[in-house]
Structure 1
């Protein structure tokens, strides 16, 4: 299904990541966010006013009944992704779904099958694939300029209370494995084009009120012997985010968001913003009628790795 510009978008969700998508979409020509479906009406109306979204729609089903919408961005709580994705695909709309596509392998396989059968552009926000440092190091790996020995990933947040990234109360509980570890597990597999990784891991005790493990230690090994060590914590007081150390034969690099430094702390000149590159890819795939990078199909093998990790850790 070919779409003419402007691409008419519906945004679902008014939380922190929804604002990130609005920032990423602003400079893209030929894009119009026509409506917003929010979880809390007052918050949704405030968000729509802030970003100039002309209409707040009461429900996803109501919004999808409109003929003037081409595509949907799901920026909603993780537990809702698979079910909402099915509704969007069933309505014949292109879809960009926030990471993770689902919170179980069964749901991931189920929604990927529906995405594949639809002929629509269906993409998951595996943003690490679009961050400039990771794209540059993947390029160097592919042409033989850099040989990776060990990827060390640190993912830190402070989530002892159920608050979002703005410190506001959350109505759902985040998932350290299926959401946050998904970024780094997928990153190694994508970097090496090797989704047949050996995996192992351990989890700390569950939080007495939130009912989730607050700390995890995960190990990965590729068929070629490249290691990855992932440390994840909801107990860390800061700094927050995902920090990556690429230990290689030629150098050691440090990546954070869209910045890359060598072992001496010298910045590597790069351009690009991961969220902007990601959302541009979604729009381009729609306009060009092709499969996007980070399609549901290409991300499903990483969900199988997470399932194996969950089994190895005795459930998460």
Structure 2
């Protein structure tokens, strides 16, 4: 691949988050999705037709053997991420892995070792690091313009009947801790550049069919004493997503996705789309031969904190 030729991509997954990646890739002229590896036959064919992907298959391993392939994006069910990322690295392909990289610390650490041994790029889609809203707050913290005292985050999804963000039925079960809490646990550590964070948490009853906790409360505290409180639920009715309140000495700031508001509700002008900036970073790292922001290694501290929380909340497992 020359610097002028397009990066040819295998996209794995045909669900809601795969469509979000395709939307982000539309703005990149030097990237071409040449193949789709799906899980459900009808959905895979429909997705390929909708997005104009010329080739598709239900065999991920076979897709990795294609000659005209430069990179992989994994937008598959969470339980498959670690194994499929390892397969991509073994095939000599840089890979962007949807959050979470795995559902256990041991798998995350094994993936980091495999990445190092392969010499390839493995980037994790920790999208909060790329939202212009959160990046502006991090800039202010680093510049001494904003002194954070307490981050309060609310994360709500309606999962009683196990549907994705578009309301479509899922064939796999999402995870409140390893997926949704991972976003904010990593964000807090990244904002403060602090991996020595204290964590504690409690969870509600497990769903009788899905087998997962549907509600969770997590507390965090940095070495310097900055607090974070996370409220997460799969039972909530109403708008879904993650809503952030940054309580600081100078102001209280509110974030929802790429939007930043002050305490009076006035929008603070910013530019950029977090998801697009994230995917752009992956391909820039490939072309420039460097490690990307949210590399697998840089995301391990968050996985270690999630492991601590998992052990606290599930002591008998």
- CA deviation after TM superposition for structure 1 residue 4, in Å: 5.0
Aligned to 2:170: 170
List 4+ stretches of structure 1 deviating above 3 A.
1-4
Q: How does 1:158-307 map to 2 (within 5 A)?
A: 158-307=158-307
The 8 Å contact of residues 2 and 286 in structure 1, kept in 2 or not, is answered as: no
TM-score by length of 1: 0.98
1:68-88 CA distance string (max 9 Å, x none): 100000000000001111111
> TM-score, normalised on structure 2?
0.98
What secondary structure, in the 3-state scheme, does the structure 1 residue paired with 2:195 have? coil
Secondary structure of the residue aligned to 2:39 is: coil
Deviation string 1:284-310 (CA, Å, 9 cap, x unpaired) is 000001000000000011100000011
Q: Report the CA distance shift for 1:222/1:2 in structure 2 as closer, same or farther (over 3 A).
A: farther
> Over the residues paired in the alignment, what is the CA RMSD in angstroms?
1.2
**SS of corresponding position for 2:209:** coil
The secondary structure found in structure 1 opposite 2:160 is coil
1:1-316 correspondence runs (5 A): 5-314=5-314
Q: Which runs of 5+ in 1 are unaligned?
A: none
Quote the Cα distance in structure 1 between the aligned partners of 2:94 and 2:3. Answer: 10
Q: Distance in 2 between matches of 1:91 and 1:232?
A: 37
**Kept after mapping to 2: 8 A contact 1:3/1:70:** no
Deviation string, structure 1 residues 8-32 (Cα, Å, up to 9, x no partner): 0000000000000000011112100
Change (3 A) 1:159 1:64: same
Deviation of the 1:5 alpha carbon: 2.5
Q: Report how far residue 66 of structure 1 moved.
A: 1.2
Q: CA deviation at 1:314?
A: 2.2
| Shift in CA distance, 121/3, structure 1 to aligned 2, threshold 3 Å | farther
Q: Deviations over 1:146-188 (max 9, x none)?
A: 0000000000011111222222221111100000000000000
SS of the aligned residue for 1:44 comes to helix
Q: CA deviation at 1:117?
A: 1.5
Q: 1:80 to 1:206 in 2, by over 3 A?
A: same
Counterpart Cα distance in 1 of 2:310 and 2:3: 40
Distance 2:94 2:271 in 1: 28
8 Å contact kept, 2:39–2:58: no
Give the CA deviation at 1:2.
Answer: 7.1
Q: Is the 8 A contact 2:40 2:58 kept in 1?
A: no
1:125-159 CA deviation, whole Å, 9 max, x = no partner?
Answer: 00000001000000000010100000000000111
CA contact (8 A) 1:155 1:241 kept: yes
Larger mean Cα displacement after TM superposition, 163-172 or 20-29: 163-172
Q: CA deviation at 1:249?
A: 0.3
Tell me, yes or no, if the aligned pair for 2:126 and 2:294 is still in contact at 8 Å: yes
What is the SS of the residue equivalent to 1:312?
helix
**Aligned residues of 1:154 and 1:242 also touching (Cα < 8 A):** yes
C-alpha distance in structure 2 between counterparts of 1:272 and 1:168, whole Å: 28
CA distance in structure 1 between the partners assigned to 2:41 and 2:94 by the alignment: 25
